Amino acid sequence: MLSAWNRRDRPPEEGAAAGLQGFTVDKAFLSSLKGILLETELALTFIIFVCFTASISAYMAAALLEFFITLAFLFLYATQYYQRFDRLNWPCLDFLRCVSASIIFLVVSFAAVTSRDGAAIAAFVFGIILVSVFAYDAFKIYRTEMAPRATQGECLCSGERRCPLHPLPQLPHPAMPYPTWLHLHRGPGVILGLPGS
């Protein structure tokens, strides 16, 4: 209640600027690879929606739904508003969005081409292009965000050969060196090592 009174006492320019500050568009993101992929997905889903509207209206709901989902992800990423929801695993959600959209558009595109209408054939062609864009986007998300980044013998918490958080144990027999490939871990809680070490 007190904060509402404070907001009322502020000058209108300051309140408007503070309200719009959370929705500034990151122009660097829009020109990045991820931004270009999302814009391409958005444009292709709109084209497929128009093609389905002109030919087979039964399939236009899938294109319209994916258009709004892609628009929401583009908005959340471009304004960086997704960082306010830090409990959600955004790379995993984006990966699942791409995989499910690939499967849906693959099925819908092959189902639409059976009508042999000109707009349905155009929707099939654009649908196959869109499936390849979604598959590439899912591949890039998996490679950059979800796959483990450590090579054999590196520590996942720091990327170094020797882990600063969990030093390797000293074995009594120097002829048997400690296998460094067993020391892959995520964070301070999980360590894979020799039994009893």
Where do the domains of the chain lie? 23-146, 149-197
Buried b (16+ CB within 10 A) or exposed e, 50-68: bbbeebbeebbebbbebbe
State the chain's mean pLDDT as an integer. 74
Give per-residue pLDDT as tens, 63-96.
Answer: 999 999 999 999 999 988 888 888 888 889 999 9
Give per-residue pLDDT as tens, 91-131.
Answer: 899 999 999 999 999 999 888 888 777 888 888 999 999 99
Q: pLDDT-derived band of residue 164, with 50, 70 and 90 as boundaries?
A: low
pLDDT reported for residue 22: 56
Here the tokens at position 82 are 């997704």
pTM of the model: 0.63
pLDDT reported for residue 116: 78
Are 163 and 70 spatial neighbours (Cβ–Cβ below 8 Å)? no
By three-state DSSP, how is residue 153 classified? coil
Q: Which bin fits 187, alpha (ψ -120 to 50), beta or left (φ > 0)?
A: left
Percent of the chain surpassing pLDDT 70: 63
pLDDT reported for residue 24: 82
CA dihedral of residues 38, 63, 72, 29 (deg, nearest 10): 10
